[in-house]
Amino acid sequence: MKSPARQGFRLIYLLFIGLVLLFPAKVLAAYSFTVDSARIQSALLMYFPLREYSAAARLTLSEPAVILRQAADKLQLDIPVVASIPGEGRKRGQVVVDVGLHYKPSTGELFLGDPIIRDFEMKDIADESRKTFRASLSDVLIKTLPLVRIHRVSEQDLNHSLSMSEMKSMHVEDGRVRVSIGFD
């Protein structure tokens, strides 16, 4: 008959082997961190105001507000817009943009990415102008937002090479963006 201590050790050993088989090291080797809206807001303000010039108007986007909705897999940016229209003066509006995240493994940097305009409102303008402005806003946001770095991961955080890592998940939790980085 085996001693109780030896049986306990054997049980722990078998549980460990079972966990290793069920959850390979790549799954277990993930690094998670959170980024709050203030940090994202601060990173955005280094790029704003944005200006887009066209024959129809000069568009100015300023002071984006970061909205983090619980359990969302995208961030929301509410951005005031001013259109200076020749012969009509200045019109004020708002653009609502859904933004994802993009992780660059070679540097460990996390950027905003894939902006999509969900809503654009501006009163007292023609529908044709609204379509033109929306297209111009989309162009400037697609060119600019992916440049906004909101976090940098170091190899010391991951305990493995950055080049082997990728973003596994991103979601909003408790008013913060939770990101998990792991092996390819």
Question: Can you list the domains of the chain with their CATH numbers?
Answer: 4-183 (3.15.10.40)
List, as one string, the DSSP characters of the chain. Answer: ---HHHHHHHHHHHHHHHHHHHS-HHHH-EEEEEEEHHHHHHHHHTT-SEEEE-SS-EEEE---EEE--TT-SSEEEEEEEEEEETTTEEEEEEEEEEEEEEEETTTTEEEEEEEEEEEEEETT--HHHHHHHHHHHHHHHHHHGGG-EEEE--HHHHTS-GGGEEEEEEEEETTEEEEEEEE-
Residue range 111-152, pLDDT digits in tens = 999 999 999 999 999 999 999 999 999 999 999 999 999 999
In tens, the pLDDT along 47-77 reads: 999 999 988 899 999 999 999 999 888 999 9
User: pLDDT-derived band of residue 154, with 50, 70 and 90 as boundaries?
Assistant: confident
Least confident of 47-51, 157-161, 180-184: 157-161
In terms of pTM, does the model score above 0.75?
yes
